[in-house]
Amino acid sequence: PTPLTRLTASRSVRTAAMVKYSREPEAGASIKTAKARASDLRTSFKNMRETAMAIKNMPLSKARLYLNRVLEHKDVVCLRRYNGSAGRTPLTKGHGFSGPGRFPEKSVKHLLDLLTNAESNAEGKELDSDNLHITHIQVNQACHGRRRTYRAHGRINAYMSSPCHVEIILTEKEEGVKKADDVVSRPERKTKKQLAKERLTNGASAK
């Protein structure tokens, strides 16, 4: 074969390769899941990781509402791991956290777009979007973007960015059915002192 046909064949093999996720749903549960991922996002890996962990295991509607509130600075992303040189805010108290927090707008916008993509994939599989939960979300570091900055005395230093890869799996959870109240209520047990007090109230002797 000519070099052109070899190149075309290698391109077709690369196109046919499936994108791998770090976690795959179980054999029976794959019908009720929808996936989405994005690579080399131009946003901070550390901020994206904290934002992703904040919405993990949330229902889809609640996660979207929370991210929109962060954009409006009405809620905050708590920095639980990568929290160096970050300021504090009283909004973190609403999450039971007393450490620093931020409003990472770029990361929030990327996550909102990714959730919309995953929801569209779920609708394509005829899943109920009201019962979708974020059962898996993962952020990985991508290759650093290399730039340079010019310093005094003719020196040059590295000026690198930290992009990231993100993957999301949404799962349709069944609505829970409340169990019937079939437990027989037990009579209230009272102490001797309480019984004596009741007898005195009713006019009987305390003996």
For the stretch 39-90, pLDDT in tens is 999 999 999 999 999 999 999 999 999 999 999 999 999 999 999 989 999 9
Q: pTM for the whole thing?
A: 0.73
Q: In what order do the strands lie in the sheet with 33-41?
A: 33-41, 164-172, 132-141
CA distances from 116 to 85, 100, 119, 129 (A): 32, 29, 5, 11
pLDDT at 144: 95
Among all chains, which residue has been given the structure tokens 């039971």?
A: 96
Rounded Cα distance between 32 and 122, Å, is 8
118 and 128 Cβ atoms separated by less than 8 Å: no
Rounded Cα distance between 198 and 178, Å, is 38
Among all chains, which residue has been given the structure tokens 């990781």?
A: 49
- Nearest of 66, 70, 47 to residue 57 by alpha carbon: 66
Q: Is the pLDDT of residue 5 over 70?
A: no
CA distances from 82 to 45, 66, 107, 142, 167 (A): 10, 20, 14, 17, 20
Residue 30: CB atoms within 10 Å: 13
pLDDT at 15: 45
Q: What is the pLDDT averaged over residues 26-47?
A: 87
CA distances from 92 to 63, 82, 99 (A): 17, 15, 7
- With cut-offs at 50, 70 and 90, classify the pLDDT of residue 184: low
- With cut-offs at 50, 70 and 90, classify the pLDDT of residue 12: very low
Rounded Cα distance between 115 and 169, Å, is 9
Q: What is the pLDDT averaged over residues 187-205?
A: 79
pLDDT at 180: 58
Q: Is the pLDDT of residue 96 over 70?
A: yes
The residue type of 78 is: C
45 and 163 Cβ atoms separated by less than 8 Å: yes
